[in-house]
């Protein structure tokens, strides 16, 4: 389902297998636990790179699981459960005491795209993979912390609208143009991962204090932190 | 340390001397007092241009002064962080357009000082913008982050500014939307361009109170943090 490996300074979180990597409550619990593991093992210079295998980064919540609840109310409850349990994953990433990089091997939709956007840097492929907020097409309203994350990370009104209100499947070049991702210069899964590793190694060499890094990151997103229940303040001893 | 001159409609605030123009409590007090002076002498068409001499616009707080206190270093840091807040508030509240003419490097609170102006011009050939906190291991004061969020729109640009430890040169700073212009190859060039802009703004003969209130209305979160009231009752000339 997902694995965490440590290679030198880099923690590599991988959504494994060839499927859509949809977020079922079990997947969510696993990801959360792996993030907690990375946090507990972090040192100066630690970096997280998150990627996946196959065609999809992640296609969002496991809507099929919600539907097997058998009733409309049951399905709504299951969806609600996934929305609530995913919130701590976004919080854990915002709080992670190390720079984070999402290396998109393929499509990222809905909650899958939110997972990507919760990282400090997002790289995607030029040739394949789209970003897609499917909610408006499916008729699902947006969880408040999803919109807050989009508002926090994406500066222009036009880009936010393209992402949330257009039903567009946004390809690499356009995503860069809209300021949603940092780079879409790679023509293969390996290319994206390599670029993320290169950036990761460069950032690792700075040997930053992870606590300070996380506190500066959170200070950029006070509203989102409020919704996620994250404390923005930190009391660090600077090396003056 | 710093001077205020009036040339026609333009107030020139200059950080003098060839040093790093670091913000020590005394510098901060002087800058604040000069801003209050400009405010009290302002009329329709007034404009403020802030610049420095030498290699540095300002390299931030006087960390050496903090360190010389030994155990009292953190206390001195807090003192500077706290006393600098009214400087940013005074700039946000100034009843006239404000232009920062960066002669050289602007780092940490020196960069915040620049960003508190309505317009920022820097050199193409020299000078960098650098938020050093992540490299030094200093958390960023809440009102610094609020200023960055208020003034810099893109999430990527904010990250590049606060979380990358990068020293941003003129062209990058323009591309990221942090400064307005980095077209000049000398300090004189930057100052000339800002004087030229200042004169064209002065010619509008704007009501400074109205200008300041519209400016504050753009940054409600920042104003709240700086304890500035956003709304006001102005007399329109309709």
**B157 — contact with chain A (CB < 8 Å)?**
yes
Question: What's the pLDDT tens digit per position in B127-159?
Answer: 999 999 999 999 999 999 999 999 999 999 999
**Inter-chain touch A238–B159, beta carbons under 8 Å:** no
**Inter-chain touch B154–A179, beta carbons under 8 Å:** yes
Question: What's the pLDDT tens digit per position in B106-134?
Answer: 999 999 999 999 999 999 999 999 999 99
Contacts for B149 with CB less than 8 Å, ≥ 6 apart:
A220, A222, B158, B221, B222
- Find chain A residues with C-beta within 8 A of B134's C-beta: 206, 208, 212-213, 216
Integer-rounded Cα Rg, in Å, for chain A is 17
- Closest partner residue to B142 among A219, A237, A240, by Cβ? A219
Residue B57: name the closest of B98, B30, B6, B18 by CA.
B18
User: Choosing among B62, B66, B145, B166, which should be mutated to test the A contact, i.e. which has the most A CBs within 10 A?
Assistant: B145
Compute how many other C-beta atoms are within 10 angstroms of the C-beta atom of residue A7: 10
Bridge pairing between strands A10-15 and A2-7: antiparallel
ipTM of the prediction: 0.88
Average pLDDT rounded to a whole number, residues B166-183 = 96
Instruction: Specify the pLDDT at position A140.
Output: 87
**Inter-chain touch A208–B135, beta carbons under 8 Å:** yes
Bridge pairing between strands A183-186 and B167-169: unpaired
The two three-digit tokens of residue A54, written as one number: 């196959």
The two three-digit tokens of residue A198, written as one number: 């290169």
The secondary element (H helix, E strand) that includes residue A48 is: strand A47-52
Bridge pairing between strands B47-52 and B10-15: parallel
The answer to whether A203 touches B100, Cβ cutoff 8 Å, is no
Quote helix, strand, coil % in chain A, to nearest 5: 45, 20, 35
Question: What's the pLDDT tens digit per position in A75-133?
Answer: 999 999 999 999 999 999 999 999 999 999 999 999 999 999 999 999 999 999 999 99
The two three-digit tokens of residue B38, written as one number: 């400009």
**Inter-chain touch B159–A220, beta carbons under 8 Å:** yes
User: Choosing among B163, B166, B167, B224, which should be mutated to test the A contact, i.e. which has the most A CBs within 10 A?
Assistant: B163
Confidence label for A219 from pLDDT (cuts 50, 70 and 90): very high
**pTM, entire model:** 0.91
Interface of A with B (CB under 8 A): 99, 120-121, 152-156, 179, 182, 206, 208-209, 212-213, 215-217, 219-220, 222, 232-240
Instruction: Specify the pLDDT at position A146.
Output: 97
d(CA B218, CA A167) in angstroms, rounded, equals 30
Confidence label for B214 from pLDDT (cuts 50, 70 and 90): very high
**Inter-chain touch B137–A215, beta carbons under 8 Å:** no
Instruction: Specify the pLDDT at position A231.
Output: 84
Residue B122: name the closest of B87, B169, B61, B159 by CA.
B169
pLDDT over 90 at A23, yes or no:
yes
Give the position of tokens 């993979």.
A129
- Find chain B residues with C-beta within 8 A of A179's C-beta: 154-156
Which residues does residue A169 pair with via DSSP β-bridges, in sequence order?
A132
For B226, phi and psi rounded to 5 degrees? Answer: -90, 5
- Find chain A residues with C-beta within 8 A of B155's C-beta: 152-155, 179
**B225 — contact with chain A (CB < 8 Å)?**
no
pLDDT over 80 at B234, yes or no:
no
- Find chain B residues with C-beta within 8 A of A120's C-beta: 159, 163
Provide the mean pLDDT of chain B: 94
| B9 three-state secondary structure | coil
**Inter-chain touch A219–B145, beta carbons under 8 Å:** yes
What is the three-state SS of B127-175?
A: CEEECCHHHHCCCCCHHHHHHHHHHCCCHHHHHHHHCCCCEEEHHHHHH
Confidence label for B232 from pLDDT (cuts 50, 70 and 90): low
Q: How many C-alpha atoms does B94 have within 13 Å on its Cβ side?
A: 30
**Inter-chain touch B162–A152, beta carbons under 8 Å:** no
**Inter-chain touch A216–B148, beta carbons under 8 Å:** no
- Closest partner residue to B135 among A206, A233, A237, by Cβ? A206
**Inter-chain touch B135–A154, beta carbons under 8 Å:** no
- Closest partner residue to A216 among B66, B155, B162, by Cβ? B162
DSSP state of B213: H
Looking at CA atoms only, how far is residue B170 from chain A in angstroms?
A: 20
The two three-digit tokens of residue B103, written as one number: 């002669």
pLDDT over 80 at B236, yes or no:
no
d(CA B77, CA B81) in angstroms, rounded, equals 6
The two three-digit tokens of residue B169, written as one number: 């040169």
The two three-digit tokens of residue B19, written as one number: 């040093």
**Inter-chain touch A240–B77, beta carbons under 8 Å:** yes
**Inter-chain touch B145–A99, beta carbons under 8 Å:** no
What is the three-state SS of A126-169?
A: CCCCEEECCHHHHCCCCCHHHHHHHHHHCCCHHHHHHHHCCCCE
- Closest partner residue to A212 among B134, B142, B156, by Cβ? B134
Instruction: Specify the pLDDT at position B230.
Output: 67
- Closest partner residue to B154 among A155, A236, A237, by Cβ? A155
**Inter-chain touch A240–B73, beta carbons under 8 Å:** yes
CA distances from A223 to A148, A217, B141, B224 (A): 7, 12, 16, 14
pLDDT over 60 at B238, yes or no:
no
């Amino acid at each position: 389902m997902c694995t965490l490996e440590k290679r030198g300074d880099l923690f590599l979180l991988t959504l494994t297998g060839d499927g859509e990597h949809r977020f079922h409550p079990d997947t969510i619990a696993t990801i959360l636990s792996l993030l907690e593991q990375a946090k507990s093992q972090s040192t100066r210079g630690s970096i997280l790179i998150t990627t996946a295998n196959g065609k999809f980064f992640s296609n969002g919540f496991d809507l099929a699981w919600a539907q097997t609840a058998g009733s409309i109310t049951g399905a709504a409850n299951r969806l609600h459960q996934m929305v609530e349990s995913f919130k701590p994953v976004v919080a854990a990433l915002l709080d992670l005491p190390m720079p984070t990089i999402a290396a998109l091997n393929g499509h990222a939709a809905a909650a899958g795209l939110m997972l990507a956007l919760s990282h400090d840097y997002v790289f995607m492929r030029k040739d394949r993979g789209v970003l897609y907020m499917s909610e408006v097409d499916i008729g699902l309203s947006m969880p408040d912390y999803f919109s807050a994350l989009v508002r926090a990370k994406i500066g222009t009104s036009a880009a936010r609208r393209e992402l949330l209100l257009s039903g567009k499947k946004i390809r690499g070049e356009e995503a860069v143009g809209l300021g949603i991702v940092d780079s879409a210069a790679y023509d293969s899964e390996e290319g994206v991962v390599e670029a993320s590793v290169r950036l990761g190694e460069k950032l690792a060499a700075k040997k930053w204090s992870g606590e300070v890094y996380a506190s500066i990151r959170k200070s950029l997103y006070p509203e989102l932190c409020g919704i996620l229940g994250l404390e923005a303040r930190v009391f660090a001893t600077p090396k003056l | 340390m710093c001077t205020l001159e009036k040339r026609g409609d333009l107030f020139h605030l200059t950080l003098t001397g060839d040093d790093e123009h670091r913000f020590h409590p005394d510098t901060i007090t002087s800058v604040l007092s000069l801003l209050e002076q400009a405010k009290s002498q302002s009329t329709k068409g007034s404009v403020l241009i802030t610049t420095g001499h030498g290699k540095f616009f300002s390299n931030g707080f006087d960390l050496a002064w903090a360190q010389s206190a030994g155990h009292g270093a953190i206390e001195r840091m807090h003192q500077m962080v706290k006393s600098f807040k009214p400087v940013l508030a005074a700039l946000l509240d100034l009843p006239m357009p404000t232009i920062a003419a960066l002669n050289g490097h602007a780092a940490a609170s020196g960069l915040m000082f620049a960003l508190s102006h309505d317009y920022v011009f820097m050199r193409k050939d020299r000078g960098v913008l650098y938020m050093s906190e992540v490299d030094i291991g200093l958390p960023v004061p809440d009102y610094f982050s609020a200023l960055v969020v208020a003034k810099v729109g893109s999430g990527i640009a904010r990250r590049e500014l606060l979380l990358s430890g990068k020293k941003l040169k003129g062209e990058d700073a323009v591309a990221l939307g942090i400064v307005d212009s980095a077209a000049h190859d000398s300090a004189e060039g930057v100052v000339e361009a800002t004087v030229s802009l200042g004169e064209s703004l002065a010619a509008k003969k704007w009501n400074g109170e109205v200008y300041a209130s519209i400016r504050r209305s753009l940054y409600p979160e920042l104003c709240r943090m700086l304890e500035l009231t956003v709304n006001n009752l102005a007399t329109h000339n309709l």
